[in-house]
Amino acid sequence: MTGTSRDEGGPPDPLAELALELLGIPSPTGDEGELADWLVARYRDEAVERHGNSLVVGAADPTRPQVLLVGHLDVVPPTDADSAPRREGDRLVGRGASDMKGGLAVAMAAFEDPALRQGPYALRLVAYAGEEGPHDGNELGPLLEAVPELEQAGLAVVLEPTDGQVQLGCLGVLNAHVTVSGQAAHAARPWHGENALTKAGPLLSDLGAREPRDVTVDGLAFREVVTVSQGWTENARNVVPDRFTLNLNVRFAPDKDLVEAETAVRELIGDRGEVVIVDRAPAAAPRADAPLLERFVPAIDAPVSPKQAWTDVARFAAHGVPALNYGPGITAQAHQAGEYVEVPALHEALAALRRFLAT
């Protein structure tokens, strides 16, 4: 293992050791090649399809439903507190421990279990690059296009951090630039112009006072939120600004498609600014009535909640594959300095997956 240390005080723990080994292979977004190479070597005796730095391991079987065990390879850049992976008691510390190399280790351990491989489902491991980066750089979409039989899967289990909960569906996300226009003037004589920045004040106040809106879909309450995440002008400091632009980050429930979400944003802003949509990603419905999902929830025996974020379950949904989030990672640890995952949570998640995959 590269740059890792283990707790020598207890008995061997293959699952924790696997997670530490993954943590010891650096894989910041855009630099996942070493980890992808390692996986190809590990599964040299398996059917492996590699596209870019993303892989599908295992073969489909027409006599059994496919279950996809899914994890992303990349992590956000490390900090001094987590650049050296290590075990500290019941914690594994390292960049990506919770988001989501701990989940990837659980997926791999389940995939490599001979009893589960011979069970009622055809297991396939899906490990992909680019999740933490720009939406267009995510390799899961191209991977699904390149391996079309994945669309026949009965369920995709995405092992993102969920604090051990089963999280169904996900919010959609939309970013819009809203520009308020005024008239430029010399700052010494502001009455000759109209200050776009101060003109935007009522709009900013209205957006800041906007309450979250709960939308129930398939019995789960998704919380829609609108957040002003950036704001800027492009003028010199001695000029009354003639344009002020804010970025509006909108999280919308799965009762809306992309067109409806965009229409709602334009109606919210009205004539108070010019709206330009700069990126958007669809929401995903919970699909709680999908046959394998109906088996999954009671087998896992964990709290069920909606996903209050966007995840790649939406990419699977776009290809007609029922998907959910379930993983051992701690949501509050994602991207934190000194990121860690609890070893008992790894074992609990693996045991729960085994219960489902044996049914």
Q: What's the pLDDT score for residue 8? A: 53
Options 21, 32, 74, 312, the catalytic residue: 74
Q: Could you read off the pLDDT of 128-158 as tens digits, one per residue? A: 999 999 888 999 999 999 999 999 999 999 9
Q: Give the single-character DSSP code of 252.
A: E
Q: With 0-12 CB in 10 A as exposed, 13-18 as middle and 19+ as buried, what is 69?
A: buried
**139 flagged as catalytic:** no
For residues 31-51, give the mean pLDDT: 98
21 is catalytic: no
pLDDT tops 90 at residue 2: no
- Local structure of 238: helix, strand or coil: coil
Choosing from 21, 82, 99, 131, the catalytic residue is 131
Q: Within a 10 A sphere around the Cβ of 58, how many other Cβ atoms?
A: 20
User: pLDDT tens, 333-356?
Assistant: 999 999 999 999 999 999 999 999
pLDDT at 3 over 50: no
Give the model confidence (pLDDT) of 149-186 as tens digits: 999 999 999 999 999 999 999 999 999 999 999 999 99
Arithmetic mean of pLDDT over the chain: 95
Domains of the chain: 14-169+284-357 (3.40.630.10), 172-281 (3.30.70.360)
CB atoms near residue 202 (< 10 Å): 11
pLDDT at residue 213 greater than cutoff 70: yes
Question: pLDDT value at position 42?
Answer: 98
Band of residue 1 on the pLDDT scale cut at 50, 70, 90: very low
